[in-house]
Structure 1
Amino acid sequence: MKTLLIFPAQWYPTQPYLSTPYLTAFLQDKGWQVSQRDFNIESYDHFLSAPLLRQAENRMQESVQSLKSKNSLSIKEKSTLDVLAMGLKFSDRIIDGVEEAKSVMRTPERFFDFGAYQQADMVIKSALKLVSDAYAPAIFSLSTFESGTRAEESTRKAHETTRDVATNPFIHLYENILLPTENWEDYDVVGISIIGISQIIPGLTLARMVKEKYPHLHVTLGGPIFSVNAGQLIGHPEFYDDFCHSIVTFEGEEPMHRLLSALREGDSLHTVPNLLHLDGREVVQNKERVELRFEELPNPVFDGLPMDKYLSPYPIIPVLQSRGCYWGKCTFCTHSFVYGHRYGKQKTMAMVDELENLMKKYNTKYFTFSDEAVSPHSLNDVSEEMIERGVEIRSLALLKFEKIMDEELFSKMKKAGFIFLMFGLESANDRVLALIDKGTTKEVERDVLLKSHKAGIWNHSFLFFGFPTETRPEAQETIDFLKKHLPFLQSFWPGFFFFNPESRCL
């Protein structure tokens, strides 16, 4: 029984994602033969290449000729023609420069030359814009893939879009480039990890094509997208006809082990926890739910992933100090639901051991602590241990604003190698923060940002507008907060609130 785990496009292309490395490590520890592929970075590498960009250019030229052949054009068609003409005006320059741009991103001395980086970044973004224009209304960028038809929200539209060669660039990519690189007959099970909305169409396109082309395979899907939306797939057997044989919801390690065991022994899929599957024409959601303690999981393995292809000057390795969220109360958040409201963390010594091992294996000192939020206590202990051992890393981490975060903590973190901290600011209005149940205040947010800045650490804040009942003056208070504290607020990313199923806002 041999399994292939795949992380599909679209996700940011600077480093691996942790879903398949954790699953691979756990299943291999159980004695299963498991390989993993990162189709996300492989997709980027091919889309950002002359052959595929020339194909995009040809599609754009055909669209221009088709529009020009019409006797009259609508306002929308005129706008489309202008967009295509602008893209074609610069397409040769973009295509000729794309390999150089990737090289800049992967070469330290060139990456840190701001002029070279700026040019490379522009070329890469422009190249992806060519792909978007060629497959309009699809949008493909470093931060998203969108169908342009909201196919991500509908099983019927997903059925159509995953077959539409006119608007889905991944069909050609999989058919002609990525699928032929794998010996599919060697495998019995393929697992596809879909963690975000931007992966839905690329991931389901891959699932459909694998299921159709290689009927001997059991195709299983997993990821938070399915955990949160599992109820919406009840009553839709056609989804399984199109895309998969089963779906693993919530945490996947033990369920995948049990699924492989059931398939090998010919047992009923009803015995597998956390599983959605077909029984005849009925979609069944098995009642048993299993989550392991984080301490029971082996460290992730990145073997088989193309570490040299990520668009970073050094390998950046994601790690987890904890799984789940130590706070777990924010009313808008679904992450605690996905983790079963469980929280577990590594022991300090084991965490630093893992960092040292990864540093040696991949010859890097760059890491991302990918926790939902690393607790202040853990940050303090891990920093002290790294300082004690003389472990030199450069890392970012995600944090929650806490009153106990003081100058001493940030000084230790800076010395330990934390250079970039990302905070969930959300709002700078105390009433809205209380509604969110954020467990902090505007004053604490200000103090923490100031202290991290004084320690020499770059801070970044995420925020959103439009939380239910937020008023215009309350939103303006957040804007004024950002303006006032720009001297020690290095960067921020505003967004708009939207409801998620299973959030406590509903």
Structure 2
Amino acid sequence: MMRPVQQSVFLVTPPFTQLNTPYPATAYLKGFLNTKDIESHQADLGILVINELFSAKGLESLFTEIEAGGYVLDGNIARIMTLKEDYLHTIDPVIAFLQDRNPTLSYAICTGNYLPEAGRFEQVADLEWAFGTLGIRDKARHLATLYLEDISDLIIATVDPLFGFSRYAERLASSARSFDDLYNALKAPPTFTDRILLRILEEQLALYKPTLMGLSAPFPGNLYSGLRCGQYIKQHHPEIKICLGGGYANTELRSLSDARVFEFLDYVTLDDGEATVLHLIEMLEGKRDIHFLKRTFALDEEGVVQYYNGTIAGDYKQADVGTPDYGDLPLDRYLSVIEVANPMHRLWSDGRWNKLTLAHGCYWGKCTFCDISLDYIKNYEATTAVVLVDRMEQLISETGQHGFHFVDEAAPPALMREVALEILRRKLTITWWTNIRFEKSFTPDLCRLLAASGCIAVSGGLEVASDRLLQLIKKGVTVAQVAKVADSFTEAGIMVHAYLMYGFPTQTEQETIDSLEVVRQLFELNVVQSGFWHQFAMTAHSPVGMNPELFKVKNVLEGVGAFANNDLPHIDETGADHSRYAGGLKKALYNYMHGICFDFPLQDWFDFRVKRPTIAPDYIERSLAEAPEPPLRPSTKIVWTGKPPQLEVNHQKHKGKIVTRAQLVFQQKRSALELNVTPAEGKLIQELLERCHVSNQAMTVGALQDHFMQNHHTDIMPLLEGPTIKDLKEMGLYIL
């Protein structure tokens, strides 16, 4: 009997995701497989294809193929072809610039005489508002991004209509109840981009010689190219087994029944990849029966799609999955681009971020538009702050990058607090950002602490900006609460991005306009700095999708598709004609983000009559003014992050009497600050700050009160609730 071959795993992200940083799925899995001593390698085929295509050699091939193809070229595309020598001359230096290897090129780019310009540059007007007079490198990065998009337009118009930087052939996979369109596209000859992809894939296979290839398809824009890779391996390397997982499979393919999919794959795995991939490896090594795989689709002996979930083993705890491993990935070849002058979109596309999750799943898990029935959202499990910061330090050592993007569904405030404290205890210099829920736990002091630890931005769902609809969504927040929390982040120096939704079931025209008025006020008061509108989509795994009648909408689809099942077209008979409002909402938001047009009537953004807002023009301002201060409870934690203050006591003679004066002197980074106190009060504050220092275990109000009453017979509540506490907060005290 032949001995099963020990598996060598090749984890692949097919084109395309982000240009600036690796998508983390394969790094997560590689980190986990390291803990099991299973050999694995990984590749981001997207960035490898981009680097080959967008090079002098790649463009030379592109222009040659276009010239031989007999394409009918319109004015803009014809212009690019006419300027091909300029593109060939500039492409390698521009790519090097976007990879931070040629920073001085920014001056040449900004002159306006270096880059060839086609249709994308028509949107460029005065960029001073976005980049100022000294933001040369950022302005150049934006212009260089437009330059790449011009070339992308050329590719789409000629050799590859499916091309897109982060959405390759996305339309074929989006809401694809039938596999027909994808199947037909895959049966057609490989496109120009496909040929580059498959050539690079062959090089990678020769390098790593895997026995199992895991394809990660986080988005619809990865599926076509992933299946094209699978098709190639089936034809040229049939000994290699292929599995597909990732976000697309998790949301879209849970009812898969079309056997044709397995002409390109051997397995489709759902939910967390750690257990499913490990079980698959064990099966291939003869250690597990196929019927005891975990959440896996495969063909049976009769060629029928079967779903195997016979194992009783659970998913792995977050503490046991290991640290993401970015080995094998060419971190110096990613491109930092600036597609649009939106501050939050800039974070997504510019800079290299180590991606981590604070917790598995969502701690809230109630929003009715969200896929809360799925494992990766409903099964919440947090990691400890110590483990998380250990992993951060390990990633810094491995990648050399100190920036982190926590990609949680919604980062839990209590864990964010503990992570911030651990970062400060270890004196790490880290920059990080994440997605949150605008809940009241984010007090002004917690926001200041997060900023002190390196937090620079948060994004969160304001959604419909209507209290009635927020309640229907079960968001657990009010508009006033969102405003207060967002203001606390902004005051702490943390940028706030709001996800905005229109078209939620039963949303009326009046509520849509009132939502826009709320958004106008939030931007005018600089409570929110960035935002994005999207239209509500009903998904199969959300409460709305599973019970549409409860939300007064009707699902217009019947039955279950043989391929993907997620987005559900629906009829909202009680709400507005939501699509009419899309253009006006986005146009208004675009101007508000640039700090202009706040005095325009809302009617000006629409080309049809809209209702007047019923929201008071000072609604947000009043909401902020009326927001209550967080209560001081025995469980409230107090943390001091500053240096020990020096107590200076002076005895002066005044009108024949000796007057004792005291000052606490706080040495800050930029200056020394003084606080007038009595000698007794000064000593009390010194001891309080020493006990609450961030290097110690965080002290609660109750524990501090007990200590000072037992040892000094002193009640500290007058101090903690008095005016002095405001001065201490400015010097590094946090009441959490």
TM-score relative to the length of structure 1 = 0.90
Written as runs of structure 1 = structure 2, the 5 A alignment for 1:36-435 is 36-62=42-68, 65-67=70-72, 81-107=74-100, 113-135=137-159, 137-141=161-165, 143-146=166-169, 153=176, 154-165=178-189, 168-183=191-206, 186-234=209-257, 236-241=258-263, 243-265=264-286, 268-279=289-300, 280-288=302-310, 290-312=314-336, 315-334=352-371, 337-339=374-376, 341-435=378-472
Aligned to 2:634: none
CA contact (8 A) 1:188 1:217 kept: yes
Report the alpha carbon displacement of residue 362 of structure 1 after superposing the two structures with TM. Answer: 2.3
Question: Would the aligned equivalents of 2:201 and 2:229 in 1 still touch at CA under 8 Å?
Answer: no
Q: Aligned partner of 1:37: which letter?
A: A
The one-letter amino acid paired with 1:97 is: T
Counterpart in the other structure of 2:544 = 505
CA distance in 1, matches of 2:65, 2:502: 39
Q: State the partner residue of 1:18.
A: 24
CA spacing shift, 1:393–1:27, aligned 2, 3 Å: same
Secondary structure of the 2:32 match is helix
Structure 2 SS opposite 1:446? helix
CA 1:146 to 1:430, structure 2 compared with 1: closer, same or farther past 3 Å?
farther
Q: Distance in 1 between matches of 2:393 and 2:208?
A: 38
Distance 2:160 2:207 in 1: 32
- 198-207 vs 83-92, which deviates more? 83-92
Q: Are the structure 2 counterparts of residues 363 and 335 from structure 1 closer, same or farther at C-alpha, using a change threshold of 3 Å?
A: farther
Q: Which residue of 2 aligns with 1:494?
A: 533
- Pair 56,495 (structure 1): closer, same or farther in 2 beyond 3 Å: farther
Question: SS at 1:265's partner residue?
Answer: coil
The secondary structure found in structure 1 opposite 2:74 is: helix
* Partner SS state of residue 219, structure 1: strand
Counterpart-to-counterpart distance in 2, 1:314 and 1:51: 26
Please give the alpha-carbon distance, in whole angstroms, between the structure 1 residues aligned to 2:156 and 2:503. 29
Q: Distance in 1 between matches of 2:384 and 2:158?
A: 50
Q: Which amino acid aligns with 1:308?
A: D
**Bigger share in helix:** 1
Tell me what 1:73 maps to.
none
Identity of aligned residues (%): 23
Instruction: In structure 1, list runs of 5 or more residues that go unmatched.
Output: 68-79
For residue 446 of structure 1, what is the aligned residue in structure 2? 483
Q: Distance in 2 between matches of 1:249 and 1:361?
A: 29
Matched residue type, 2:91: V
> 1:60 touches 1:84 (CA, 8 Å); kept in 2?
no
For the structure 1 residues 66 and 476, does the alpha-carbon distance in structure 2 shift closer, same or farther, using more than 3 Å as the test?
A: same
Contact 2:420 2:449 in 1 (8 A): yes
In structure 2, relative to structure 1, the CA distance for the partners of 1:393 and 1:147 (3 Å cut) is closer
Alpha-carbon distance change, 382 to 305 in structure 1, aligned in 2, over 3 angstroms: same
Per-residue Cα deviation, 1:224-267 (whole angstroms, up to 9, x for no partner): 22222334422x111112x1111111111112111111111175
Q: Cα distance, 1:496 vs. partner?
A: 1.9
| Structure 2 Cα separation of the partners of residues 55 and 183 of structure 1 | 24
Tell me the CA shift for residue 335 of structure 1.
5.8
Bigger relative contact order, structure 1 or 2 (CA pairs below 8 A, ≥6 apart): 1
Amino acid at match of 2:538: F
Cα distance in 1 for partners of 2:83, 2:455 equals 40
CA distance in structure 1 between the partners assigned to 2:438 and 2:238 by the alignment: 50
Name the CA distance, whole Å, in 2 between partners of 1:7 and 1:256: 15
- 1:199 Cα deviation (Å)? 0.9
| Distance in 2 of aligned mates of 1:187 and 1:273 | 22
Contact 2:498-2:531 within 8 A present in 1 as well: yes
2:297 maps to amino acid: L
Q: 2:43 and 2:460 mapped to 1: Cα distance?
A: 31
Counterpart CA distance in 2 for 1:5 and 1:503 is: 30
- Alpha-carbon distance in structure 2 between the residues aligned to 1:161 and 1:378: 46
> Is the partner of 1:41 in helix, strand or coil?
helix
CA 177–24 in structure 1, closer or farther in 2 if over 3 Å, else same: closer
C-alpha displacement of 1:338: 3.7
Q: Distance in 2 between matches of 1:202 and 1:374?
A: 32
Distance 2:167 2:192 in 1: 14
The question of whether the paired residues in 2 share the 8 Å contact of 1:427 and 1:463 is answered with: yes
Q: d(CA) in 1 for partners of 2:373 and 2:152?
A: 34
CA contact (8 A) 2:272 2:376 kept: yes
**Alpha-carbon distance in structure 2 between the residues aligned to 1:436 and 1:37:** 39
Q: Per the alignment, do residues 205 and 151 of structure 1 end up closer, same or farther by CA in structure 2, a change over 3 Å counting?
A: farther
Structure 1 CA distance, aligned partners of 2:483 and 2:412?
18
Equivalent pair of 2:372/2:541 in contact (CA under 8 Å): no
Q: What do the CA deviations read for 1:207-230 (whole angstroms, capped 9, x no partner)?
A: 221222210011111112222233
Q: Which amino acid aligns with 2:157?
A: D
Determine the C-alpha separation between the residues in 2 that align with 1:480 and 1:240.
51
Give the whole-Å Cα distance in 1 for the aligned partners of 2:18 and 2:12. Answer: 15
Higher-Rg member (1/2): 2
TM-score, normalising length: structure 2 = 0.63
In structure 1, the partner of 2:684 is none
Q: Cα 1:17–1:335, aligned 2, differ >3 Å: closer, same or farther?
A: farther
Query: Any conservation in 2 of the 1:101–1:119 contact (CA below 8 Å)?
Result: no
Contact 2:483 2:527 in 1 (8 A): no
Distance verdict in 2 for CA 1:148–1:298, change over 3 Å = closer
Offset, 1:92: 4.1
Residues 66 and 457 of structure 1: is their aligned pair in 2 closer, same or farther, counting only changes over 3 Å?
closer
SS in 2 for 1:182: helix
Q: C-alpha separation between the residues in 2 aligned to 1:407 and 1:218?
A: 53
AA at the equivalent of 1:427: V
What SS does the corresponding residue of 1:187 show, helix, strand or coil? coil
CA distance in 2, matches of 1:465, 1:57: 43
CA distance in 2 between counterparts of 1:340 and 1:494 reads: 23
